[in-house]
Amino acid sequence: MLGGFKNFLLRGNLVDLAIAVIIGTAFGKVIASFTAWLTAQLPATSETFEGAKEGSGAYFANDVISFVILAAVVYFFVVVPYTRVKERYFPSAPPGTPEDIQLLREIRDLLQAQKQA
């Protein structure tokens, strides 16, 4: 029962999806603050840019730094441990020639041997 749950957590893209949501949310905040900062630089001739007064270069820089810190935290505290655990329970295939390629090579060699005989 618990083995199946462990396989579900480690095999699927559950962690990748969670990371994408976290990074996407943080990046959305960076884009929103950049937009606010950019529109604050434009002459506010209409009421369209009224909400952009909170935007400033410092506000944008703060969100960029926040994004980079969040990405580092997610990488070092989620991605790296997840990769280690996944490699421990589901090791990568050993390096070498895949079985289908090996079979194709054997067939090629046999056909060449028949042709020469």
pLDDT reported for residue 49: 45
pLDDT reported for residue 51: 45
pLDDT reported for residue 30: 83
Residue 37 in contact with residue 60, Cβ under 8 Å? yes
The three-class DSSP label of residue 46 is: coil
Residues 6+ positions from 78 with CB-CB distance below 8 Å: 15, 18, 19
Tell me the whole-structure pTM to 2 decimals: 0.53
How confident is the chain (117 residues) per 10-residue block, as mean pLDDT?
73 78 86 74 53 58 76 85 87 78 92 90
